[in-house]
Amino acid sequence: MPSVGKGLVIGHHQVSDDMYEIEFILPAMSAECEPGQFVHIMPDMDNGPLLRRPLSLYDVDKKSGSITLLYKVVGQGTRLLTRVRNKDYVDVMGPLGRGFSLPGVAQNVLLIGGGVGIAPLIYLARALKELGCNIKVLYGTGTRSELVVFDKLRQIGVEIMPATMDGTVGYKGLVTDLLADKVNPSEIDFIYTCGPEPMMAGVAQFAKQNGIPGEASLEEHMACGVGACLGCARKLKAEDQHYIKVCKDGPVFSFAEIDF
């Protein structure tokens, strides 16, 4: 059940030119968090914009009651969020939305993240590891300094294949080209992806061509975050008669449901 709470900030630091990691304690909320869900955070309760901002669950530690978010500064809300200090309280609603489905038995899974879209795949990787899955992560960014989650992925114990547009680390080019060039589809049971929509479209096409099931986490502009305002309504396929709400029906949808 989603709730609203005040999280005590125990860590907040810059991890790249424009990305930050913030960790806060909210035991009751963290106990409910599942991979792929998100929280709706108020960037600044006194001076900020009225609307909360949606951010994925990047990591959750149910034992300590902590929730960590990874965010990129793109506008007023995320800029205000950078001003939060250790020992401040942040106003958070969550967990919200429908997350990733987890396999009943250990599988060979492929996680594909682009840029800050890698965020929800970290908590997912942790959960999949606990289930005994064999995990490969394709992680695409513009350049080396943007590969900010390397250490976490290593600590979880997954195989990492990076792709950078400038070739400073790993494969030179798009993560979808890395996918087509280096991944043997017969070795993969399920694919999870999050990142820019053109990237996820390429991933879904690869999956469909090779008969691999999978899921993608979508982004839409959000207001209420709980299915009440229609701010995030969209069609999943051009021919669909009805609109879904990304905040409540998603943000995670199966490849079979979406036509990018």
Ligand X SMILES: Cc1cc2nc3c(=O)[nH]c(=O)nc-3n(C[C@H](O)[C@H](O)[C@H](O)COP(=O)(O)OP(=O)(O)OC[C@H]3O[C@@H](n4cnc5c(N)ncnc54)[C@H](O)[C@@H]3O)c2cc1C
Among positions 86, 230, 235, 256, the unique one binding ligand FES when judged by CB under 6 A: 230
The answer to whether the Cα torsion of 18, 21, 26, 31 is positive or negative is positive
Q: Is residue 245 at the binding interface for ligand FES, with CB under 6 A as the rule? A: yes
Query: Rounded to 5 degrees, what are φ and ψ at 110?
Result: -120, 125
Q: Which is nearer to ligand FES, 39 or 153 (CB)?
A: 39
From the CB of 108, what's the least distance to ligand X, in Å?
26
Residue with tokens 């909210």: 26
Two tokens, residue 250: 């998603």
Q: Distance of CA 256 to CAs 13, 46, 83, 259, Å?
A: 38, 43, 41, 8
Q: Is residue 77 at the binding interface for ligand FES, with CB under 6 A as the rule? A: no
The HSE-up count of residue 165 (CA atoms within 13 Å, CB side) is 7
From the CB of 247, what's the least distance to ligand X, in Å?
7
Q: How far apart are CA 33 and CA 37, in angstroms?
A: 7
Which of ligand X, ligand FES, none does residue 224 bind (CB under 5 to 8 Å by kind)?
A: ligand FES
Collapse the DSSP code of 159 into the 3-class scheme (helix H, G, I; strand E, B; otherwise coil) and give the result: strand
Q: Which is nearer to ligand X, 212 or 216 (CB)?
A: 216
Q: Is residue 15 at the binding interface for ligand FES, with CB under 6 A as the rule? A: no
The site for ligand X (CB under 6 A) is made up of: 38, 53-56, 70-72, 74-78, 116, 119, 219-222, 251
DSSP code per residue over 56-97:
E--EEETTTTEEEEEEE--SHHHHHHTT--TT-EEEEEEEES
Q: Distance of CA 98 to CAs 137, 158, 237, Å?
A: 22, 25, 19
Q: Which is nearer to ligand FES, 11 or 49 (CB)?
A: 49
Q: Is residue 244 at the binding interface for ligand FES, with CB under 6 A as the rule? A: no
Among positions 7, 115, 214, 225, the unique one binding ligand FES when judged by CB under 6 A: 225
Q: Which is nearer to ligand FES, 17 or 243 (CB)?
A: 243
Helix (H), strand (E) at residue 179: helix 175-182
Which of ligand X, ligand FES, none does residue 219 bind (CB under 5 to 8 Å by kind)?
A: ligand X
Q: How many residues of this chain bind ligand FES (CB under 6 A)?
A: 12
Which of ligand FES, ligand X, none does residue 75 bind (CB under 5 to 8 Å by kind)?
A: ligand X
Residues that bind ligand FES (CB under 6 A): 222-225, 227-232, 245, 247
